[in-house]
Structure formats: C-alpha cells, structure tokens
Amino acid sequence: MLRKHYPALFSDDPEFEERASQFSAKVHELISFLTDVMRVTSVNAQYIGSVTYHDSCSSLREIGLKEQPRRLLYSVKGLELSEIEDADICCGFGGAFSVKYPDISNSMVSQKADKVANTGASLLLGNDLGCLMNIAGKLSREGKPVYARHIAEVLAMRTEEPPICAPKR
C-alpha cells in the first residue's frame, strides 16, 4: 500500500503528492528489502517443524515476491516447507473485498483454509497480516490445527523451540 498506492491518496494536492511519492520510494516490504535490497540469501535461524507459506495477492502481483520468501525459508535449519495447492489463488480478504462481498470472500477463504490444512503443516507463514488474520480466523473456526504467523517470526528464531502459537482452545 505505502509503496504502490500512497501517492494516489494525494493526487488532488501536488505538494503532498510529491512528498508522498518521495516517501513511497523509500518504503520496502520486509522480505523484498532483505533479499532484493540487502541481498540476504540465508538466515541463521532454526525451526523444527513443517510450515506452509501463503503468497498475498499484493506481494505476488504488485511487487513480484514469490521465490524470495521461499529462499529464506529453505535456509532455516530443521524447517520443512510444504507448498499450498493453488498457492497463487487469493484468500478472499483483499481489503474492502471481504466486507463488500462477504459470501464470495467466505467461500474463497474456506477453500484456502482447506488447502492450507491439506499440506499437513502446523504453521502457516505469510507477510500480509490481513491475509494471515483472515485465514487464521477460518482455520480456527473450522477447528483446523494450523496456526498463522508472520514469516519474520520464524526467520528470527534462534532456538529449537517452536513459537508460541495461540491460546489453548
């Protein structure tokens, strides 16, 4: 949002639009910054367990983030990455989409939650908190034992202990 769309919010005010554009040029998504700007190719992290990764629509289509998170995850000692079938299909959140079209959104997130659970992973990772909140909510409501976390939580792990995932149900 900040990198691609923020300046458009000020399109009726040239001064603020220019300031917003200057700001946007300095903004990076975390994984893109690590891999594409800082050229990080691996992390010194450890996570014992199976995870899966959700590609958000904005990451895939707007900033071209697909292989970069996987490259970092493959470098995590002990981590087993299980891919989601049809990983490039939207989870149904999409900002206001889930509010404007709740029935369609619910159908989309139900399908995504099923495919996440079918990976056998106990942890869903992603970089978009809206997507993670949407999918985690559906997984929880359907009693599927998969927790959701931001990818940074696993990339920063230095012990064999899995992250504290969620309160007991």
Nearest to 85 by CA among 57, 49, 120, 132: 120
* Amino acid identity at 133: M
Q: Which two tokens stand for residue 167?
A: 């309160």
* Amino acid identity at 113: A
pLDDT of residue 4: 86
pLDDT of residue 14: 87
Q: Residue 27, SS3? A: coil
| 132 vs 109: CA distance, rounded Å | 11
DSSP 90-128: --S-TTTHHHHSHHHHHHHHHHHHHHHHHTT-SEEEES-
> CA 74, 78, 80: angle at the middle one, nearest 5?
55
Of 3.40.390.10, 3.20.20.70, 3.30.499.10, 3.40.50.1860, the CATH number of 42-155 is: 3.40.50.1860
Q: What is the mean pLDDT of each run of 10 residues along the chain (169 residues)?
A: 89 91 94 95 94 94 94 96 94 90 96 98 96 96 96 83 45
pLDDT of residue 157: 86
pLDDT of residue 118: 98
pLDDT of residue 168: 41
